[in-house]
Structure 1
Amino acid sequence: MHALIVVAHPNPGSLTHALARRVAEGISEANPLHTVEFADLAAEQFDPRFTSGDIGAHLRQMTAPDDVAAEQARLDRTDALVLVYPVYWWSMPALLKGWIERVFANGWAYDDADGKLVKKLQHLPVHLVASAGADQRTYARHGYFGAMKTQIDHGIFDYCGARVVTSELLIQPDAPDLNALLDTVQRIGRKVFDTPREESAAKAA
């Protein structure tokens, strides 16, 4: 089984990158034969801007831009997708949002034609790992976590049919130390392939 871990943070020494590495360790611990690929969007200089080429691809007037097609091919060979990111302004960073907007395109992630939606990513289990700087009381008081689940879990992935298996919000201020957060994501990594791709597709169908 092959996992793609997408990281959206410009600093390779950040907690976000450390969390991604520990997820990978957990995946390897569960089965050394599992493979892990990292998509470091900042290091790879992925362009998150939605351009006229993306609009043309959305309207089926032209093929997807080369960088988008490369990301879609990377996802096509993936059995589980893991997104690791910090919470910026109660959502994901613009770099990651732009990656989703461009890559999860009409005709590939979903098919919106003649008023009928076809969800095309029912085979893909998704694991979301977000690192939060505010405490749990702040998220609960303002309903931020529920809002994030609505816009990300449901608004993005459910729209494409991808099943969100894990939606973890790591609350930094409430953790006894950062090791506790790292241990949490390592446990998540061990369970990434608890539901095989075939079973996930069958349930979605």
Structure 2
Amino acid sequence: MQILVIYCHPRGDSFCAAQRDVVTTSLQAAGHTVTLRDLYAEGFSPALSAEERGRYHDVPDNLLGIEDHVADLRAAEALVLVYPTWWYGLPAMLKGWLDRIWAPGVAFSLGEGAIQPALTNIRRIAVVTSYGSPLWLLWFIGWGDYRLFSRGIRRLCAKGCRLDWLYLHAMDRRTRPELTRHLDRVRAHFSRW
């Protein structure tokens, strides 16, 4: 399977980077083709410029400057996003990636009064994330990033697109053995893909 991994964290020595490495090596060991996009390392610009917004609905002119990201997204059969959850949502860089790359003509089309999915090549999405919050607070707040993917993003992909959610809560209070056990769970999960 062709898998696109989007990694979003500014530090190469973070626990998030360790998760990224486990994801990519596990998928490759299982025989998949992995394309890794490291948004910070690439210097990806998350801000939608006034010019880009002006041509947002002008397909295909809305793809100018983002063609490589769009090509990777269109080639993928599965999408894995590895990021830390900050302030109960996506890091600004990752939110900007969605704003700029999941554009009309790429992720959806507007027709017949409804949004039509356009990324029907993507049959599976996985999120690997960590939260500083305790579990009870995530339930109280309502899992904002999970709802975004389960109710919104997934609808723009193949019918019946599967969503896998691998998370670690209370990240800042975890011991080394707990972190290692989480990485082992991530490894086992992606080894079964």
- Same-fold call, TM > 0.5? yes
Counterpart of 2:120?
122
TM-score, length-scaled by structure 2 = 0.87
Q: Which runs of 4+ in 1 moved over 3 A?
A: 173-176
Q: Number of residue pairs matched?
A: 187
AA partner of residue 125 (structure 2): V
Counterpart of 1:4?
4
Matched, 1:30 2:35: no
**Counterpart Cα distance in 2 of 1:68 and 1:3:** 19
Moved more, 82-91 or 110-119: 110-119
Listed as ranges, the matches of 1:26-175 within 5 Å are 26-31=26-31, 34-60=32-58, 63-124=61-122, 125-140=124-139, 142-145=140-143, 147-158=144-155, 160-162=156-158, 163-171=161-169, 172=171, 173=173
AA partner of residue 28 (structure 1): Q
TM-score, length-scaled by structure 1 = 0.82
CA contact (8 A) 1:3 1:37 kept: yes
RMSD: 2.0
**Counterpart Cα distance in 2 of 1:53 and 1:128:** 31
CA contact (8 A) 2:130 2:167 kept: yes
Matched, 1:178 2:176: no
Deviation sequence 1:142-183 (CA, Å, 0-9, x none): 1432x332223212332x135242122222346752101111
Change (3 A) 1:161 1:131: same
Secondary structure at 1:129 match in 2: strand
Secondary structure at 2:13 match in 1: coil
**Counterpart Cα distance in 1 of 2:27 and 2:33:** 8
Shift of 1:45: 0.4
Change (3 A) 1:53 1:153: farther
AA partner of residue 118 (structure 2): K
AA partner of residue 94 (structure 1): A
**Counterpart Cα distance in 2 of 1:187 and 1:57:** 43
Change (3 A) 1:110 1:168: same
Moved more, 71-80 or 7-16: 71-80
CA contact (8 A) 2:74 2:119 kept: no
AA partner of residue 37 (structure 2): A
**Counterpart Cα distance in 1 of 2:38 and 2:145:** 22
CA contact (8 A) 2:59 2:105 kept: no
**Counterpart Cα distance in 1 of 2:51 and 2:191:** 39
AA partner of residue 104 (structure 2): N
**Counterpart Cα distance in 1 of 2:191 and 2:94:** 24
Counterpart of 2:14?
14
AA partner of residue 40 (structure 1): D
Question: Percent identity of the aligned residues?
Answer: 28
**Counterpart Cα distance in 1 of 2:192 and 2:128:** 13
